[in-house]
């Protein structure tokens, strides 16, 4: 075969499993040409893991595989795997072979045995089909028949040697209590973990009735790997391992583009809106209009023609849309046109991990650019307290990597202690923008106050604004501070109108004063003119008087002279007395 003839050195060191997340944890997959042990309890997903590994090899890596089934019949396995959409049937002809190695109940055992027969038969089959990957499923069943630990060890060693000799990438699954059973002696086949090159443990536990699955790479000779437990779910496409922040993924496209929050003044407060691809957290007590802000964002996104997914955990999707109509947010038409996809997830139960996987799948399916999760605190429901934080982290991580603008609302539990702001998920540290909604109880009113607690990379207003919901939409209003107190609602309105009245009064007063002064001026002017007239009159009178006096005196002197002349008196007549 083509691949078999190639020197091992030329091949990549690792064989990809095609399991989402697992190849990231192990930096490439299982050790090629070596053997890996997959341990887990019943129902932990060992067989699915193994089949997925083979299917991926056969379909995408040109590595046909053989599945040795010790426990289930091949037909059963194929039927069980049908749900994952892997299309096993076409592979079964040449690229994937299921070997029925079930121990028939009629088999009688007498004394020790070994696996040489199987390995010899396998070698023939592998050569026939050019197989490169071999899975031994439920090897523990065979090992349990061996009389002592030494024989068991010998057979595992034989298997390992055989795999290495033929340069097969081997995967051996075995039942085990998983990490729960760490006490020595509880692990039946603990020696296998020492002998093989790589060990992966699948854990399955139930917290508060919620199933939690975890995968952990216990050892990996010659390779670095993520040592932590990683949650996984068995989804529609097989295993889906949740990976925490993978190194080297910081290259997610960082955008300077701003997208509207759907509230005009909020955009202004943020210096232009949210960043594209940012994660926004809106926190608040029940009824503080978190959903409204989420809805406003969704509406704005749809108006821009961006495909949007709205996940509503609290209320039914249709109900949520109806309620938003009352504040002027109309999502109905976008839902109808397919731009918006509203998911009512109230009834979806399961682990936080499951929810995340479903949200991711839905968002991918919808090709969403914007995503609203209302509220994200649902992830921390009973049974998920431990995992929810990690899930929220990965949610943000994933949204960033995919360039999705994410708006999460989060309920603040009023009963929670406020040491951590009462936010159960501590998402606040991860979110790029954190908007807090609050109530202000004052003068018998409850008013909504909004403030931006943080917004990375954007200048943002430090002001508290009052959030006003009305039929025409969501608006923000300045609030008044008076005497060290913030005024909102009616008090703000009163303050505003008082101010208006005062302004008017001042204006009118000014006008009145001007008019009065004008009048006084006019009066004075009039008086000045009349006085002048009077003066002129007096002067005339005076002149008249002067003239009259003169004329009389003239008349008098003339009269005396005439009399004397008439009397003919002596010239030297003395003055009559």
Partner 1 sequence: MTRKGTFNFRLFVADQTQNSVQAEANLTAFCRQYLPDRHHIEVVDVLREPKRALDDGIFMTPTLVVLAPAPIRRIVGTLSQTLTILQTLKLDNQAA
126 or 468, CB closer to partner 1? 126
Tokens (6 digits) for 201: 């443990």
Task: State how far the Cα of 184 lies from the Cα of 194, in Å rounded to an integer.
Answer: 14
| Segment interacting with partner 1 (CB under 8 A) among 47-55, 98-106, 296-304, 362-370 | 98-106
Phi, psi of 315 (to 5 degrees): -130, 165
What pairing do the DSSP bridges indicate for beta strands 465-470 and 35-40? unpaired
Among 82, 120, 206, 563, binds partner 1 (CB under 8 A): 120
Size of the site for partner 1 (CB under 8 A): 23
Nearest in space to 359 (alpha carbons), one of 375, 377, 343, 383: 343
Among 7, 8, 9, 107, binds partner 1 (CB under 8 A): 107
Radius of gyration of the chain (CA): 48
Between the CA of residue 137 and those of 48, 101, 518, what are the distances in Å? 10, 10, 108
107 or 501, CB closer to partner 1? 107
The answer to whether 106 contacts partner 1 (rule: CB under 8 A) is yes
The answer to whether 148 contacts partner 1 (rule: CB under 8 A) is no
9 or 124, CB closer to partner 1? 124
Residue 434, by phi and psi: left (phi above 0), alpha (psi -120 to 50) or beta? Answer: beta
Tokens (6 digits) for 250: 């910081």
The answer to whether 110 contacts partner 1 (rule: CB under 8 A) is yes
Task: State how far the Cα of 35 lies from the Cα of 31, in Å rounded to an integer.
Answer: 7
| Segment interacting with partner 1 (CB under 8 A) among 114-122, 377-385, 510-518, 522-530 | 114-122
Task: State how far the Cα of 458 lies from the Cα of 433, in Å rounded to an integer.
Answer: 9
Task: State how far the Cα of 198 lies from the Cα of 15, in Å rounded to an integer.
Answer: 13
| Segment interacting with partner 1 (CB under 8 A) among 16-24, 42-50, 121-129, 177-185 | 121-129
124 or 183, CB closer to partner 1? 124
Among 125, 187, 258, 265, binds partner 1 (CB under 8 A): 125
| Segment interacting with partner 1 (CB under 8 A) among 101-109, 423-431, 444-452, 493-501 | 101-109
116 or 513, CB closer to partner 1? 116
CA dihedral 346, 474, 269, 281 (to 10 degrees): -10
Tokens (6 digits) for 154: 């010998």
Q: Are 269 and 465 in contact (CB under 8 A)?
A: yes
The answer to whether 116 contacts partner 1 (rule: CB under 8 A) is yes
Among 38, 39, 51, 142, binds partner 1 (CB under 8 A): 142
Q: Are 38 and 50 in contact (CB under 8 A)?
A: yes
The answer to whether 104 contacts partner 1 (rule: CB under 8 A) is yes
Task: State how far the Cα of 328 lies from the Cα of 450, in Å rounded to an integer.
Answer: 19
CA dihedral 565, 567, 572, 577 (to 10 degrees): -110
Cβ at position 360, least distance to partner 1 in Å: 42
Edge-to-edge strand ranges of the sheet holding 133-137:
96-100, 65-69, 133-137, 169-175, 35-40, 198-207, 210-220, 230-235, 238-241
Cβ at position 163, least distance to partner 1 in Å: 16
Binding flags for partner 1, 54-93, as an x/- string (CB under 8 A): ----------------------------------------
| Segment interacting with partner 1 (CB under 8 A) among 120-128, 159-167, 477-485, 526-534 | 120-128
148 or 251, CB closer to partner 1? 148
Phi, psi of 109 (to 5 degrees): -110, 135
76 or 551, CB closer to partner 1? 76
Cβ at position 197, least distance to partner 1 in Å: 24
Among 30, 101, 198, 437, binds partner 1 (CB under 8 A): 101
124 or 501, CB closer to partner 1? 124
The answer to whether 113 contacts partner 1 (rule: CB under 8 A) is yes
Task: State how far the Cα of 365 lies from the Cα of 236, in Å rounded to an integer.
Answer: 13
Q: Is 519 helix (H, G, I), strand (E, B) or coil?
A: helix
| Segment interacting with partner 1 (CB under 8 A) among 13-21, 52-60, 86-94, 112-120 | 112-120
Among 7, 108, 183, 247, binds partner 1 (CB under 8 A): 108
Among 111, 185, 209, 483, binds partner 1 (CB under 8 A): 111
Task: State how far the Cα of 384 lies from the Cα of 313, in Å rounded to an integer.
Answer: 15
The answer to whether 511 contacts partner 1 (rule: CB under 8 A) is no
Among 1, 81, 123, 469, binds partner 1 (CB under 8 A): 123
The answer to whether 124 contacts partner 1 (rule: CB under 8 A) is yes
Nearest in space to 372 (alpha carbons), one of 443, 301, 448, 466: 301
Task: State how far the Cα of 172 lies from the Cα of 159, in Å rounded to an integer.
Answer: 9
Among 117, 305, 484, 568, binds partner 1 (CB under 8 A): 117
Between the CA of residue 62 and those of 17, 52, 67, 136, what are the distances in Å? 13, 14, 16, 20
Which residues contact partner 1 by CB under 8 A? 100-101, 104, 106-118, 120-121, 123-125, 142, 145
């Amino acid at each position: 075969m083509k691949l078999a003839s190639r020197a091992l050195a030329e091949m990549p060191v690792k064989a990809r499993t095609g399991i989402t997340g697992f190849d990231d944890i192990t930096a490439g997959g299982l050790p090629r040409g070596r053997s890996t042990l997959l341990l887990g309890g019943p129902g932990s997903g060992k067989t699915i893991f193994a089949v997925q590994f083979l299917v991926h090899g056969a379909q995408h890596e040109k590595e046909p595989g053989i599945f040795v089934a010790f426990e289930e019949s091949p037909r059963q396995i194929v039927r069980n795997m049908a749900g994952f959409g892997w299309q096993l049937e076409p592979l079964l002809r040449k690229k994937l072979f299921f070997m029925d190695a079930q121990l028939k109940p009629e088999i009688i055992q007498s004394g020790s045995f070994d696996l040489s027969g199987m390995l010899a038969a396998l070698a023939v089959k592998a050569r026939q089909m050019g197989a490169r990957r071999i899975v031994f499923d439920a090897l523990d069943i065979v090992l349990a028949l061996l009389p002592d630990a030494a024989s068991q060890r010998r057979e595992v060693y034989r298997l390992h040697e055989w795999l290495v000799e033929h340069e097969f990438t081997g995967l051996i699954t075995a039942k085990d209590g998983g990490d729960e059973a760490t006490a020595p002696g509880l692990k039946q086949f603990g020696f296998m973990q020492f002998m093989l090159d790589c060990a992966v443990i699948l854990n399955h536990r139930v917290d508060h009735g919620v199933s939690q699955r975890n995968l952990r790479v216990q050892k990996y000779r010659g390779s670095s790997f993520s040592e932590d437990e990683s949650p996984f779910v068995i989804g529609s496409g097989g295993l889906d391992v949740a990976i925490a922040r993978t190194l080297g993924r910081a290259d997610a496209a960082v955008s300077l583009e701003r997208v509207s929050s759907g509230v005009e003044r909020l955009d202004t407060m943020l210096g232009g809106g949210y960043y594209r691809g940012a994660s926004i957290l809106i926190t608040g007590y029940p009824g503080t209009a978190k959903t409204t802000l989420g809805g406003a964002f969704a509406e704005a996104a749809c108006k821009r023609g961006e495909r949007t997914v709205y996940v509503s955990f609290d209320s039914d999707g249709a109900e949520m849309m109806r309620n938003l109509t009352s504040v002027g947010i109309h999502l109905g038409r976008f839902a109808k046109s397919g731009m918006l996809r509203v998911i009512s997830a109230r009834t979806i139960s399961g682990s936080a991990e499951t929810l995340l996987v479903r949200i991711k799948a839905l968002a991918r399916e919808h090709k969403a650019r914007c995503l609203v999760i209302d509220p994200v605190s649902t992830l921390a429901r009973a049974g998920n307290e431990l995992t929810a934080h990690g899930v929220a982290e990965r949610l943000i991580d994933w949204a960033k990597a995919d360039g999705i603008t994410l708006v999460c609302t989060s309920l603040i539990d009023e009963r929670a202690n406020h040491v951590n702001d009462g936010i159960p998920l501590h998402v606040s540290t991860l979110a790029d923008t954190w908007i807090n909604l609050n109530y202000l109880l004052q003068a018998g009113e409850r008013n909504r106050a909004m403030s931006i607690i943080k917004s990375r990379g954007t200048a943002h207003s430090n002001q508290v604004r009052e959030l006003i919901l009305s039929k025409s939409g969501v608006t923000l209003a300045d609030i008044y501070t008076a005497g060290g107190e913030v005024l909102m609602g009616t008090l703000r309105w009163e303050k505003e109108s008082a101010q208006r009245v005062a302004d008017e009064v001042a204006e009118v007063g000014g006008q009145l004063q001007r008019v009065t002064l004008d009048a006084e001026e006019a009066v004075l002017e009039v008086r000045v003119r009349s006085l002048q007239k009077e003066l002129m009159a007096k002067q005339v009178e005076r002149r008249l008087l002067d003239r009259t006096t003169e004329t009389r005196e003239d008349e008098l002197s003339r009269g005396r002279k005439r009399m004397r002349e008439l009397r003919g008196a002596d010239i030297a007549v003395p003055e009559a007395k």
